[in-house]
Amino acid sequence: MTPRIHLHPEVAQQLQQGGPVVALESTIIAHGMPYPQNVQTAREVEAIVRENGAVPATIAILDGKIQVGLDQRQLESLGNTPGVWKVSLRDLPFVVSEKLNGATTVAATMHIAHLAGIRVFVTGGIGGVHRGAETSMDISADLTEMGRTSVAVVAAGVKSILDIGLTLEYLETLGVPVVTFGSEEFPSFYSRGSGFQSPLRLDSPDAIARFLRAKWDLELNGSALIANPIPSEQEFPFAEMEQHIRAALDAAERQSIRGKSTTPFLLKYIADATGGDSLASNIALVKNNAALGARIATAFSSL
């Protein structure tokens, strides 16, 4: 493995034994939620991964060192230090060579997880094709990486700050299977529904593990999106969320928000507009994904 990757000893030992490990991203900590809920959630998510039989590996860059598995102090500083970079694929070499601190997106976390030999990755929601991408060309590098890197991504679907239909089309073009756990309908992060049918459905972690094994045995390299609908008790009504999203998109337009700032801007706007409600849903769905991801990783490593 590349000497640039620093494995936490517990993660290294588990990988050596072929045991289940779940990768976790850090942009959601540094740029997706406010302090201190971000650090608290990150800790709880790690605990849920453990309860479900796997070792958690939160991935971030500290002083230019790529860390796979963080200790409590590192997690705290990531969630509470201003100026942490949001690191997607293009930013990764720069943050490493300039010895900066960085929180990794889905794309960058997947890439590092792959280098470390981790096959399952859990997040809240992935980036995708933005609304209006036909003129802005704003398509997340998360999709690019999913097209080529063989790490499964467990997420609560796609937020409708994105164009859900175009994101599903783009995933199809890249050959990335989309499997919804236990539902016919593709979920939209805060809501169990989206108005789009899920291309595929599977109902157990074992079935998902066998599906991943079949994919990669066939040398169909790349990711699979495992969409896990938010529990209904924590769901946010789709129509109500749509109004907040439209307001957020208008504000982004008025303030000329562009590029990598777009997603964090929209997330923060929606969190502020809904009081704490969307944050509570966000925390609940990440935990729900952590449990499923750990069960898939456990099933996969016992195949």
Give the active site residues: 25, 159
Which of Mn ion, ligand PSU, none binds 91 (CB below 5-8 Å, type-dependent)?
none
- Tell me if residue 21 falls in helix, strand or coil: strand
Q: Select the residue whose beta carbon is closest to Mn ion and give its number.
A: 138
What is the Cα–Cα distance from 274 to 291, expressed in whole angstroms? 26
Residue placing its CB nearer to ligand PSU in the complex, 8 or 159 = 159
Residues between 125 and 144 with contacts to Mn ion, criterion CB under 5 A? 138
- In the complex, which residues of this chain contact ligand PSU (CB under 6 A)? 25, 27-28, 32, 88, 105-106, 124-125, 127, 140-142, 159, 189, 260, 263, 267
Single-letter code of the amino acid located at 73:
R
CB of 262 to ligand PSU, least distance (A): 6
Which of ligand PSU, Mn ion, none binds 235 (CB below 5-8 Å, type-dependent)?
none
Residue 278: which residues within 8 A CB-CB, separation 6 or more? 190, 236, 241, 244, 270, 271
CB of 98 to ligand PSU, least distance (A): 20
Tokens 């195949």 belong to residue: 303
- Running DSSP on this structure, what letter comes out for residue 231? P
Kindly calculate the radius of gyration of the chain based on its CA atoms and give it in whole angstroms. Answer: 18
Residue placing its CB nearer to ligand PSU in the complex, 15 or 28 = 28
Residue placing its CB nearer to ligand PSU in the complex, 111 or 260 = 260
Which of Mn ion, ligand PSU, none binds 52 (CB below 5-8 Å, type-dependent)?
none
- Tell me if residue 225 falls in helix, strand or coil: strand
Single-letter code of the amino acid located at 56:
P
Residue 70: which residues within 8 A CB-CB, separation 6 or more? 8, 58, 60, 78
- 163 binds Mn ion per the rule CB under 5 A: no
Residue 254: which residues within 8 A CB-CB, separation 6 or more? none
Which of Mn ion, ligand PSU, none binds 14 (CB below 5-8 Å, type-dependent)?
none
CB of 9 to ligand PSU, least distance (A): 26
Bin 29: left if φ > 0, else alpha if -120 < ψ < 50, else beta: alpha
Residue placing its CB nearer to Mn ion in the complex, 3 or 259 = 259
- Tell me if residue 200 falls in helix, strand or coil: strand
Which of ligand PSU, Mn ion, none binds 79 (CB below 5-8 Å, type-dependent)?
none
CB of 138 to Mn ion, least distance (A): 4
Give which of 134, 137, 227 is closest to 177, Cα–Cα.
Answer: 227
Residue placing its CB nearer to ligand PSU in the complex, 207 or 280 = 280
CB of 262 to Mn ion, least distance (A): 6
- Tell me if residue 132 falls in helix, strand or coil: coil
Contacts to Mn ion by CB under 5 A = 138
